Structure 1
Amino acid sequence: MAMNVGGDSGDEPSVMATINTTPLVDVMLVLLIIFLITIPVITQHVKVKLPHANNTPTVTKPHEITISVTRNGSTYWGTELVSSGRLLQKIMQVAVEVPQPAVKIRGDRNADYRYIGHVLYELQRGGMVKVDFISEPTANDIGVH
C-alpha cells in the first residue's frame, strides 16, 4: 500500500490519503484460484450407488401408568385389580425401562390416605422416580364463578 506525501510548496497538495487496493485484490484472486483448484481434489470419491430409504423419525415416548385407588382401598393397575404384592412386582418390571414411564395416581377423594400412602411406598420400593397425582379442576380453574 502506498501513500503519496507531497512537499510543502504551494503547487502540490499537502497529503493524499488514498489506499491502493490493487495488491489486496491480487491476493484475493490468487486465494480464489487456489480454492477452485483444490475443491475437486477434495471431493473425489469412489462411485457407489446407495440404496434409497424412507426416513421416518421414531419418537420414543414413555408410556404412562395409571394406578387407581378406590374409596375402600382397592388398587387398580390400569383397569386390572391388583394385590399389594402384585403391585410391587409390576412396579419393579416397569422401573427398569429406559426411559422410565411416568406413574399417575388417581385416588378417590373419599379414600383413606393410608391406601394412597401404601401405593407411594410401593412405588418408592420398586424404584419409580416420576409420580404424578391426578385431580379434577375446581370451578375457579375452569373459569366458572
Structure 2
Amino acid sequence: MGMSAGGAKGSGGGRRRRGRRGGTISEINVTPLVDVMLVLLIIFMVAAPMMTVGVPVDLPQTQAAALNSETQPITISVNADGQIHLQETPITAEEVAAKLQAISTTGYNERIFVRADTTSAYGIVADVMARIQQAGFKNIGLVTQQRQGNR
C-alpha cells in the first residue's frame, strides 16, 4: 500500500530525464547579452555627437549661415590659454605647417577649419592662419556659432 514498484508518474522520472540529456544544460541564454548591447548602443548614440571635437573652445557668435561640407575637414583649435590643437592633439605653432602637410589627404586643397576661443589672443590666431597659408593651403575657414535670437 505504501510503495509501488513502478508505473506511478513522478517516481524516478527526474532521474531518467537527466540521464538521457547528459547532465547539465549547455545552452547559452542570450537575453542578458542583448540587454547589455542595447544599453551600450543607446549610450554610444547619445555620446557620439558630443565627441566630435575634444578641445573646449568658446566660439564667437555671428550671423553667418552654417556650411554644408561633404568631407570631414581638418580642425585647428586655439583655446583661451593660447594652446594650439590639431584635431585633438596639442602642437606648437612651429609644427602647424609640417603636421598639416603630413595628414592632408587631398593636398593643398584640403579644407581646414580654425576654431578660436572668444578670449584667445588675436595675434596667436593670426599667426596660426598665416602659417597655414604659408604652407600652401588655400581653403581656410574660421568656425563660429550662429547667433541665437534676433538677426
What is the TM-score when the length of structure 1 is the normalising length?
0.50
Higher RCO (CA 8 Å, separation ≥ 6 residues): 2
Say which structure is richer in helix: 2
